Amino acid sequence: MSIDLYYTSGSAPCRLVLLVAAALDIQLNLHNVNLREGDQFKPDFLKLNPQHTVPTIVDDGFSLWESRAISRYLVNKYGGDDSELYPKDPKARAIVDQRLDFDLGTLYPRFAQYFYPQIFGGAAPDAAQLKKLEEALVFFNTFLEGHKYAAGDKLTLADLSLVATLSTIEVGGVKFDDQPNIVRWYELVKSTAPGYKEANEKGINEFKEVLKMIKAKAEL
């Protein structure tokens, strides 16, 4: 069993799919999509994903995009009947879904709204946007109170999604040292998520290099 993944290694959503595949021991055929060169607008890619976004997978002719939808699909199809990554119990699954939606709708967007205008638009840091991001980190710290992982006592899709985002926030220079539950959780997930170094840390290091190049060009 092998699945095609169209991705960009620096992207947090793409790294989520890599983390899920590592946890499920799924073999991926990796296809790098150079967003800066416009690979996402090529006709062949648009046939797979008219929204021209990454990550996108193709599994035996079935095309799917949006990282959290991909993650749920992979666990539902390949995780077996009792996968702890996405539990079957309705209440336990609902908590995982809530954390995934928090990442999708709150944490990552607030980071993007604060950070990307600075890097890609040359804007000055926006104190109001930073305050919103810091508020989201407080929310997440509160979610973790009394829990080993993001959605309970087991590693789930919620942890893999959130760690991809949080590691990107860290690279962006935003500190969360004053959120002890996040600090504890972050170290735990880095040490227990299967294949973390290859699936997430490698891409984070590549993202750092991209940021260095962008900053160097801005200073010329």
Which residues are designated catalytic? 11
Q: Decide if 65 contacts 58 (C-beta within 8 A).
A: no
Buried b (16+ CB within 10 A) or exposed e, 86-113: bbeeeebbebbbebbebbbebbbebbbe
Q: Decide if 172 contacts 130 (C-beta within 8 A).
A: no
Q: 113: which residues sit within 8 A by CB, 6+ positions away?
A: 129, 132, 133
Beta-ladder partners of 152:
149
Amino acid at 173: G
Give the helix/strand (H/E) hosting 148: none
**Residue 30's closest CA among 55, 1, 62?**
55
DSSP label of 125: P
Instruction: Please spell the DSSP secondary structure of 138-150, one letter per residue.
Output: HHHHHHTTT-SBT
The helix-helix angle for 180-192 and 127-143 (nearest 10°) equals 70
Rounded to an integer, what distance in angstroms lies between the CA atom of residue 21 and that of residue 78? Answer: 10
